[in-house]
Amino acid sequence: MLVTGASRGIGLATAERFARRDDVEQVVLVARDSPAFDAAVAHLTEVASPAVKVWPYRLDLADRAGVLELVDQVHATHGNVDVLVNNAGYTKPEPVHQIDFAEFERTMAVNLYAPFSVIQGLLHAGNRFSLIVNIASTAGLHGRSGWLTYSASKAAVINMSEVLREELAIYGTRVACISPGRTATDLRRTLAPEEDPTTIMQPEDVAAVIEMLSTDVGRFVDSTNLVVRQ
Ligand SMILES: NC(=O)c1ccc[n+]([C@@H]2O[C@H](COP(=O)([O-])OP(=O)(O)OC[C@H]3O[C@@H](n4cnc5c(N)ncnc54)[C@H](OP(=O)(O)O)[C@@H]3O)[C@@H](O)[C@H]2O)c1
């Protein structure tokens, strides 16, 4: 399986759930190079079940050429990616008058174009997914003041997932989209700095739902946009 944004938050919690399983062979992680990512990789390697190998890839997902190189490398090195979790996300909340267009482009690159490029790149490499989970947000359903770029990117992720679900069904691929509500992570702190993180959902709660989709029970969950919130 492959999870992007695996250095912390929901992505790290998701990677850990898969790494602890006995029926998983390889967990491929993507995030930018950082001490946090090094620590995450060390932790996952320690807690992984003996059959599981953990493989980190360090990349800025806003770099589209890099993403395409990465997916080719992953497919050539590790074989077929059965489960893909497009989790990495970025936001810089600003009111409309202050939005720097380059920031809007960066938000779209990380939140929308990277998931698209990972999926399309792997399809071009001949990959056959069993499950793709794209992480959107309740912000993609209801725009919030100051969150224009983030909300727009997540609305697009929800819609892209619906199209992919229809187009990839023929290959036996299930495509799900999860829209978490408020979850105690660094990204949430950026959006709501005053909030007490102990009063909201924890990353492990969302990770449990993502993992559930990959189980036998998950096959019966028919939703492109599953809202997960407290
Ligand atoms: N927390 C919430 O309340 C909430 C609610 C709804 C949806 N979500 C979504 O859930 C997903 C996970 O977010 P989180 O809340 O767990 O946030 P987080 O703890 O801040 O983690 C974000 C992850 O994305 C990675 N990432 C960000 N920019 C990247 C880039 N340019 N290249 C590569 N990796 C990048 C980060 O890795 P590095 O920075 O180490 O590279 C990190 O691993 C996101 O898609 C977010 O939009 C979160």
pLDDT tens digits for 3-15? 999 999 999 999 9
56 lines ligand 1 (CB under 6 A): no
The pLDDT value given to residue 219: 87
CA of 31 to the centre of ligand 1 (A): 9
Average pLDDT over residues 205-227: 92
Which residues make Cβ contacts (< 8 Å) with residue 20, sequence separation at least 6? 47, 48, 49, 52
The pLDDT value given to residue 224: 76
pLDDT tens digits for 46-83? 999 999 999 999 999 999 999 999 999 999 999 999 99
CA of 88 to the centre of ligand 1 (A): 4
Token couple for 175: 């495509």
Best mutation site among 103, 151, 157, 185 for ligand 1 pocket (most ligand atoms within 8 Å of CB):
185
pLDDT tens digits for 114-156? 999 999 999 999 999 999 999 999 999 998 999 999 999 999 9
The pLDDT value given to residue 220: 87
Name the residue range of residue 135's domain.
Answer: 2-228
185 lines ligand 1 (CB under 6 A): yes
CATH of the domain at 97: 3.40.50.720
- Token pair 């990117």 is found at 153
**Nearest CA residue ID for atom 41, ligand 1:** 32
Give how many domains the chain has, as a whole number. 1
Name the pLDDT band for 34 (thresholds 50, 70, 90).
very high
Average pLDDT over residues 223-229: 89
